[in-house]
């Protein structure tokens, strides 16, 4: 077992209530591929939250969920516009391009947040049939830099995209952290702002594994997603074990409890490191990630105590992440380790 790590929320263990839900689901036989009571219950929870007309599909992982979801909205000559820092652009190994034959078009941004002014030049259509036709805008909540779109910002982006005939997809690998930080529900920060498709993350918020794709425009999904998910190798035969986790996550606002805790731990860490000479915090700390620049020997010394990644080698900029299981004692020990490493 490793020390508490600050590398990623993927490194967290499974939350006890989620593990218990898996154990409880492990009774007797159940029909495969989602024709089971756990899947019906979990789908009902998503519909209760996002609206009865939400079309919900569970998937194994975030890359697969993003790719099969987006594949329903683009034809091979159409493209997805994404901030250049988006996970689908930088960390999914071209899966979208391979699976769909379409392109992700990376758009440079100031800080990882896509704004209308960033998008505009890509919608002028000057090259006609020679340019892949933009069809979807995708943004991440939280962003890859741990930031959050304010409600107004995302609403404006959705309105603009819709005005240009584009759909909006949110990669919500950390949608719960964003909602917790904004003091809002996942619905209030997606569907109600105009988002068309949401990948709702579970793995980074206490689950053993699982993501849920929510379509708020069933006309995009009903004829396509069942087949895209199967062809995209994201259809679980033993669906009950993914569904049982989401059933438990959405019950009793656990999604909120886990995410709020992770966010609070990031704030505690921020308070513990922000005044350390040699540590420069580089991004707004809104959810469960902190980015900082330190000198390389100090990074190496801190990494001896607790593992974390250098996010951008060129600066070097590190990323520290917290999660549902990070404790106050972990944070205090880590902040002390960073302080000692920087002395």
Ligand X SMILES: Cc1ncc(COP(=O)(O)O)c(C=O)c1O
Which residues are at the interface with ligand X (CB under 6 A)? Answer: 61-63, 87, 140, 144, 171, 173, 203
* Rounded Cα–Cα distance for residues 138 and 124 (Å): 18
Work out how close the CB of 140 gets to ligand X at its nearest, in angstroms, rounded to a whole number: 4
Work out how close the CB of 62 gets to ligand X at its nearest, in angstroms, rounded to a whole number: 2
CB nearer to ligand X: pick between 34 and 62:
62
CB nearer to ligand X: pick between 190 and 203:
203
* Rounded Cα–Cα distance for residues 327 and 261 (Å): 9
CB nearer to ligand X: pick between 61 and 133:
61
The angle that helices 175-182 and 254-273 make with each other, rounded to 10 degrees, is 70
Work out how close the CB of 285 gets to ligand X at its nearest, in angstroms, rounded to a whole number: 17
Coil vs helix vs strand at 197: strand
Work out how close the CB of 336 gets to ligand X at its nearest, in angstroms, rounded to a whole number: 28
User: Are the C-beta atoms of residues 22 and 207 closer than 8 Å to each other?
Assistant: no
For residue 142, cis peptide bond before it (omega within 30 degrees of 0): yes
User: Are the C-beta atoms of residues 252 and 113 closer than 8 Å to each other?
Assistant: no
Work out how close the CB of 20 gets to ligand X at its nearest, in angstroms, rounded to a whole number: 23
Work out how close the CB of 32 gets to ligand X at its nearest, in angstroms, rounded to a whole number: 22
Strand partners, 200: 172, 212
CB nearer to ligand X: pick between 15 and 30:
15
Q: Which residue is at the shortest CB distance from ligand X? A: 62
202: tokens are 């579970």
Q: What angle do CA 324, 325, 328 make, to 5 degrees?
A: 105
User: Are the C-beta atoms of residues 295 and 318 closer than 8 Å to each other?
Assistant: no
CB nearer to ligand X: pick between 171 and 196:
171
Instruction: Give the torsion sign (CA, 84, 197, 168, 286).
Output: negative
User: Are the C-beta atoms of residues 181 and 211 closer than 8 Å to each other?
Assistant: no
CB nearer to ligand X: pick between 87 and 191:
87
């Amino acid at each position: 077992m490793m020390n508490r790590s600050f590398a990623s929320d993927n490194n967290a263990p499974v939350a006890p209530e989620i593990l218990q839900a898996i154990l409880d689901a492990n009774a007797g036989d159940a029909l495969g591929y989602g024709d089971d009571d756990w899947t019906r219950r979990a789908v009902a929870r998503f519909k209760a939250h996002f609206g009865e007309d939400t079309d919900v599909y569970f998937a194994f992982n975030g890359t697969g969920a993003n790719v099969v979801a987006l594949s329903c909205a683009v034809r091979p000559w159409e493209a997805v516009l994404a901030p250049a820092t988006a996970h689908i652009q930088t960390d999914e190994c071209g899966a979208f391009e391979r699976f769909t034959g379409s392109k992700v078009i990376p758009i440079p941004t100031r800080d990882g947040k896509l704004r209308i002014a960033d998008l505009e030049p890509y919608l002028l259509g000057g090259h006609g049939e020679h340019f892949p036709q933009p069809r979807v805008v995708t943004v991440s909540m939280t962003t890859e830099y741990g930031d959050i779109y304010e409600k107004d910002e995302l609403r404006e982006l959705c309105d603009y995209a819709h005005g240009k005939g584009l759909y909006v997809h949110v990669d919500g690998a950390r949608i719960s952290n964003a909602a917790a930080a904004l003091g809002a529900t996942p619905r209030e920060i997606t569907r109600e702002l105009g988002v068309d498709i949401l990948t709702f993350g579970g793995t980074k918020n206490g689950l053993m594994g699982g993501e849920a794709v929510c379509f708020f425009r069933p006309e995009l999904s009903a004829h396509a997603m069942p087949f895209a998910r199967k062809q995209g190798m994201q259809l679980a035969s033993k669906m009950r074990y993914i569904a049982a986790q989401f059933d438990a996550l959405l019950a009793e606002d656990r999604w909120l409890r886990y995410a709020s805790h992770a966010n609070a731990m990031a704030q505690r860490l921020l308070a513990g490191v922000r005044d350390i000479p040699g540590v420069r915090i580089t991004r707004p700390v809104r959810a469960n990630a902190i980015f900082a620049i330190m000198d390389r020997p100090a990074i190496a010394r801190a990494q001896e105590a607790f593992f974390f990644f250098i996010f951008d080698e060129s600066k070097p900029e590190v990323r520290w992440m917290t999660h549902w299981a990070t404790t106050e004692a972990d944070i205090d020990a880590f902040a002390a380790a960073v302080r000692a490493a920087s002395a």
